[in-house]
Amino acid sequence: MNKRIALVTYQQQARYTAGVTVNEDEQLLKFLQEKGLDITSVVWNAPEINWQEYDVAIIKSPWDYHDQIDTFYAWLKTTEQAGVQLLNSAEMIAWNSNKKYLLEIAAAGLPIIPSKLIEKGESPDWKSFFGLWHTDKIVVKPCVSAGAKNTMLLTVEGIEEKRDQLTALLQIEDYLVQPYLNEIEEGEWSFVFFGGVFSHSVLKTPKQGDFRVQHYHGGTISTVPTTDIFIHKAEAYVDHFGKGSLYVRVDGLIKEGEFYLMELEMIEPYLFLSTAENGYENYYKALMTLLQ
Domain boundaries, the chain: 4-92, 116-180, 183-291
- Classify the C-alpha dihedral 172-175-180-184 as positive or negative: negative
CB 64 within 8 A of CB 32: no
Domain 4-92: CATH architecture, name and number where available:
3-Layer(aba) Sandwich (3.40)
Residues in CB range of 225: below 8 A, 6 or more apart: none
- Residue ranges of the chain with pLDDT lower than 70? 1, 13-21, 147, 207-219
* pLDDT for the residue numbered 227: 83
Q: What pLDDT is recorded for position 105?
A: 98
Residue 213 has a pLDDT of 46
Note the pLDDT of residue 205.
83
Q: List the Cα angle 18/96/171 in 5-degree steps.
A: 80
The CATH homologous superfamily for domain 183-291 is ATP-grasp fold, B domain (3.30.470.20)
Name the β-bridge partners of 197: 194
| Same fold for the pair 116-180 and 183-291 | no
**Cα–Cα distance for residue pair 274/292, rounded to 1 Å:** 26
Separation of alpha carbons 170 and 175, rounded Å: 7
| 140: nearest Cα among 185, 173, 182 | 173
SS3 call for 91 = helix
Full-model pTM: 0.92
116-180: which CATH architecture? 2-Layer Sandwich (3.30)
Are the C-beta atoms of 266 and 280 separated by less than 8 Å?
A: no
Give the span between the Cα atoms of 32 and 40, in whole angstroms: 10
